[in-house]
Structure 1
Amino acid sequence: MAAPARSIPKAVAIPEAVAIPPGRFRMGSPDDEPGHEDSESPVREVAIRAFALGRTPVTFAQWDAFADATGGWRPPDEGWGRGGRPVVNVSWHDARAYCAWLADRTGQPWRLPGEAEWEYAARAGTGTPWYWGASFEPGRAHCFAPGCALGGERTVPVGQFPPNAFGLHDMLGNVWEWVEDCWNEFHLGAPPDGTPRLEGDCGRRVLRGGSWLDVPRQIRCAARNRNGRDFRCDDYGFRVAHDT
């Protein structure tokens, strides 16, 4: 007989999810956007269905509840502290394992967001490089720039900066966030309905949002990154999503 599943400790909150409304948006960046990379082309219109997305990246406190319940991996915090800081040093496979555990424990279909869902949620109805406007503004996100960092060259606790119009914190900066999609060099041929792109270089997966060690041009809404599914890094984290 299988051992009974351990419950989530009451002291540790399940990630709070924000309802993201359905809509259409233009994904990617034009050639003349400061910091534009070819991988952000072509700009295309994408339809997004309603879904829910974590208000912040998953924190160490939330991850450690998972590790305690499963006897799983406890990633190092680089000496920066755990608790409310975003979990780092987690791979794409690690992130999906957390989603599967959370889904099993809560009965909700938790998963990683798709890349198009992520950008739609980050933009929150805007079409500018950053969700607050056309130019970088210190005090809006945690990255590597004068007036940008809080507490030095490391992560900061989630929720320290103003949210976007959807009520999401840290969509830009602090940690790169794993999404479901396989890496492709361009948006050409990507699904128009916002579903994850599950063809291409699936040994590498996409990350979005930029991090504490990236300059402002790397934390734009359209900026993209990628790495191997098992790669762990001190500026890689994730947030969770679920269907509604």
Structure 2
Amino acid sequence: MKVNIMSKNISQIIIDEVTGIKFAPIAGGDFMMGSPVAEKERQAVEGPQHNVHVDDFHMACFEVTQEQYLKIMGENPSDLIRENCPADGVSWEDAQEFIKKLNAVNDSRYRLPSEAEWEYACRAHTTTRFFFGDAITIEQVNYGTKISCQNSPVGGHPANGFGLYDMHGNVFEWCEDTWHGNYEGAPADGSAWVDDSTDHKVYRGGAWNASARFVRSAYRYHRPKTFAYYNIGFRLAF
């Protein structure tokens, strides 16, 4: 893997030499995935709430930007071309192709995060609706009430406890998992739940034009793996 490893210790940031993507270390642990029954905005797809163990991994500090996407793919599919903003208009298959090409250049093992890894990383040891509590403001998140009504440069809002930015809002983010209508039978080891039951894939995190309930840590939805839209992007893990 051609990365600038400041230290091989899990506590250090790692930078990809080709794209400049920065990866934060995520120490593993156990957490309750999904929403409790008492959550007033809870949807059936967010349950049953269940314990999951996640191993150590690394998560990109930011969503893949338009510049980074263009460097690997040779094109920028984004609806609004803006410096240092996340790539959007990217399907799950597009994200996989980006990863395939980057891994070939880097001899690396980048991938999309599993849905469990994504939620664990988003929560950063919190249990509230958002990693910063149960209330939300436009100073904390680029979401549906923001006046600008467009995606914003990555890192423009506060990071969570793991040093990850825009886990809430900006653009939705694809996960590796096949969509399932609830967590019955979901893996408890943090791995991606992948099968041939459907061609729909999971995305998480909310977007610049999504209301607060879609930006919650537990919110999840799905689209066909070929679906591309102006508020969906991705970030990497390994």
Tell me how far 1:206 sits from its aligned partner: 0.1
Given residue 228 of structure 1, which amino acid in structure 2 is its aligned partner?
P
Given residue 40 of structure 1, which amino acid in structure 2 is its aligned partner?
E
In 1, Cα distance between the equivalents of 2:32 and 2:126?
Answer: 9
Q: Counterpart in 2 of 1:172?
A: 168
Unaligned runs of at least 5 residues, structure 1:
1-9
Tell me how far 1:132 sits from its aligned partner: 0.3
1:191 to 176, 180, 187: 187
Q: 1:11 to 1:182 in 2, by over 3 A?
A: closer
Farther off after superposition, 95-104 or 52-61: 95-104
Unaligned runs of at least 5 residues, structure 2:
1-15
2:28 to 22, 40, 43: 22
Q: TM-score normalized by structure 2?
A: 0.89
The alignment status of 1:54 with 2:60, answered yes or no, reads yes
The alignment status of 1:203 with 2:209, answered yes or no, reads no
Q: 1:135-150 counterparts in 2 under 5 A? A: 135-145=135-145, 149=146
Given residue 183 of structure 1, which amino acid in structure 2 is its aligned partner?
W
Tell me how far 1:11 sits from its aligned partner: 9.8
In 2, Cα distance between the equivalents of 1:46 and 1:34?
Answer: 23
The alignment status of 1:234 with 2:222, answered yes or no, reads no
Q: Counterpart in 2 of 1:41?
A: 47
Q: Counterpart in 1 of 2:109?
A: 109
Q: Counterpart in 2 of 1:216?
A: 212
Matched pairs, number: 223
* Aligned-pair Cα RMSD in Å: 1.6
Farther off after superposition, 215-224 or 28-37: 28-37
Per-residue deviation, residues 127-153 of structure 1 (Å, max 9, x unmatched): 1110001222331110012xxx26x11
Q: Secondary structure at the match of 1:110?
A: coil
Tell me how far 1:200 sits from its aligned partner: 6.0
In 1, Cα distance between the equivalents of 2:213 and 2:89?
Answer: 23
Q: TM-score normalized by structure 1?
A: 0.87
Q: Is the 8 A contact 2:93 2:226 kept in 1?
A: yes
Q: Is the 8 A contact 2:88 2:229 kept in 1?
A: yes
Q: 1:142 to 1:34 in 2, by over 3 A?
A: farther
Q: Is the 8 A contact 2:18 2:106 kept in 1?
A: no
Given residue 45 of structure 2, which amino acid in structure 1 is its aligned partner?
S
The alignment status of 1:121 with 2:127, answered yes or no, reads no
Given residue 134 of structure 1, which amino acid in structure 2 is its aligned partner?
D
